[in-house]
Structure 1
Amino acid sequence: MSVTPRQKWHQLIMAAAKELKLPMIRQHLEEQVTEAMQKDASYEEFLALLLQQEWDARKESARYNRIRRAEFTHKKYLESLSVGDLPPDAQKKLKLLKSLAFIQEGRNVILAGNAGTGKTHIAIGLGIQACLEGYKVWFTTVPLLVNQIKECRSAQTLRAFQNRFEKYDLVIADEMGYISFDREGAELLFTHLSLRAGRKATIITTNLSFERWGEIFQDPVMTAAMIDRLTHQAYIVNMNGNSYRMKETKEWLEQQKLS
């Protein structure tokens, strides 16, 4: 059976789309052709709609990859926050933080307060929103960060790690204060956070007030320098309040009783 001119064009488009790595065109070509014929679309409209599908798919894939590479421990979204249960200062500043202006300005955000008040939820929520808006984000805990820096130094890959660390648009360092460090760990943490100070944004969550940071670093001079460097022109959010997590637990327990 001979191949019609239309079939030849179809085969050529599919081959070109495969070579150029345009999977959405290969997947949706036939339906787009049929739809264009039904509504007598112009060549320009047909081509624009075909390319739009490819463009949309690539943007969605890029968003997914940015979130995956950020290494979030949980997926927490700003939309799922119960804003009314957050501490008053967080309620007041959340709208400003959601604008992500702090990333463009290269300013830090420090979420400081007692456990269970939504610090990590806000931090991850802002990080995911940043990923969706095209920013390069990395999430870690402070203890894991210190261990990773030490391992890189031992493996003589510290410079490569520093280069990556400096280039993230946003680094989220969770759980400052849960574990104290030896002098080496404190110095390495100070050095790496200083690399970003004033140029790139970092979100830090901590359960300790600044007056108690000496318990982490065990060196008054380094503690003062760390606080000065991290808080300069930073957005500081007072997260002291009733436990957001405890409230959710009580509500869950009540639901179990009723079920």
Structure 2
Amino acid sequence: MNTQTLEQMKQLRLHGMIRAFSSSLSPQSVDYTNDELIAYLIQSEWDDRQNRKVERLTKTARFRYSAVMENIDYTHDRNIDRNQIQRFATCDFITQKDNILITGSTGAGKSYMASAIGHQACSLGFKTMYFNTSKLFTMLKTSKADGSYLKQVNKIEKQDLLILDDFGLKGLDNINIQLHKGYGSKRLDNACKRALDADAATYRHIKNILKNNLDKSSLFYQDLEEDKAHIPKHENIRGASYYK
């Protein structure tokens, strides 16, 4: 009978309940009363569904870092208001529709902090998406060319929290103004698509594609040997290897 019960639970996709019921059949298990067993099974199923929901939200968000609030560095020289960050952990700013602007020098840990807040939002059940700003705008520009613009915008509008990383690092009109004048709309659209396919949708990469006529060729963009990025000389908690 227990085997049949487990099989029915499996068909109903009650994964948490299956694990709890299986453990209750073990000789080392606690001797539950009927009420205790029912509560144990329901709680196990609830916890399992909540954990899978958080995993799904986190995967969909596509964070830059696997960061948690507890690992934020609050050492004195970083001058971070610990109390303020802990207030962000409640995610009340989402329900109140407030914005958070994180500023600081390169390598100060802004992206990590944003990722940590995003992970916290997911753990509380908020739908979240994380974007590099230049890649987001390039993706939206490309989606206008392939007809998926409204679909992409609707997807973003459904999120409870939108995290824009490296916002303002490059002028928002750089691609439209500078490259459009030099290469025209058709070539620029093709270059943007190629850059997105190579997961390299930045102004520098798109310009490199156009400059080397890779938007016209069948070669993969990854085959193009680029100059090594300059490594800034300053304190950087990510380390110099981040820029290589």
Task: Tell me the TM-score normalised to structure 1 length.
Answer: 0.63
1:88 corresponding residue in structure 2: 79
Matched letter for residue 40 of structure 2: L
Q: 2 CA distance for matches of 1:65 and 1:90?
A: 31
Higher strand share: 1
Q: Once the 2 structures are TM-superposed, how far is the Cα of residue 115 of structure 1 from its aligned partner?
A: 1.3
Counterpart among 46, 51, 61 of residue 70 in structure 1: 61
Q: Once the 2 structures are TM-superposed, how far is the Cα of residue 160 of structure 1 from its aligned partner?
A: 1.3
Q: 2 CA distance for matches of 1:13 and 1:166?
A: 43
Counterpart among 140, 150, 155 of residue 164 in structure 1: 155
Q: Indicate how the Cα distance of structure 1 residues 20 and 184 shifts in structure 2: closer, same or farther if over 3 A, else same.
A: same
Q: Once the 2 structures are TM-superposed, how far is the Cα of residue 184 of structure 1 from its aligned partner?
A: 7.7
Considering Cα pairs closer than 8 Å and 6+ residues apart, tell me whether 1 or 2 has the greater RCO: 1
Counterpart among 27, 30, 40 of residue 49 in structure 1: 40
Secondary structure in 2 matching 1:176: coil
1:20 corresponding residue in structure 2: 12
Secondary structure in 2 matching 1:171: strand
Deviations 1:120-139 (A, max 9, x none): 12111100011111111100
2:50 corresponding residue in structure 1: 59
Tell which deviates more after alignment, 79-88 or 110-119.
79-88
Contact 1:86 / 1:118 at 8 angstroms: preserved in 2? no
Contact 1:142 / 1:175 at 8 angstroms: preserved in 2? yes
- In structure 1, stretches of 5+ residues that fail to align are 1-8, 187-242, 251-259
Counterpart among 24, 32, 44 of residue 24 in structure 2: 32
Count of matched residue pairs: 184
Deviations 1:210-246 (A, max 9, x none): xxxxxxxxxxxxxxxxxxxxxxxxxxxxxxxxx7635
Q: Once the 2 structures are TM-superposed, how far is the Cα of residue 174 of structure 1 from its aligned partner?
A: 0.3
Pair 1:117-2:108 in alignment: yes
Q: 2 CA distance for matches of 1:18 and 1:130?
A: 31
Query: What are the within-5 Å matches in structure 2 for residues 220-231 of structure 1?
Result: none
2:125 corresponding residue in structure 1: 134
Q: Once the 2 structures are TM-superposed, how far is the Cα of residue 92 of structure 1 from its aligned partner?
A: 5.8
Contact 1:116 / 1:245 at 8 angstroms: preserved in 2? yes
Pair 1:148-2:139 in alignment: yes
Secondary structure in 2 matching 1:112: coil
Q: 2 CA distance for matches of 1:72 and 1:169?
A: 15
Identity between Structure 1 and Structure 2 (%): 21
Q: 1 CA distance for matches of 2:105 and 2:118?
A: 21
Q: Once the 2 structures are TM-superposed, how far is the Cα of residue 27 of structure 1 from its aligned partner?
A: 3.7
Q: 2 CA distance for matches of 1:129 and 1:86?
A: 25
1:11 corresponding residue in structure 2: 3
- In structure 2, stretches of 5+ residues that fail to align are 178-233
1:182 corresponding residue in structure 2: 173
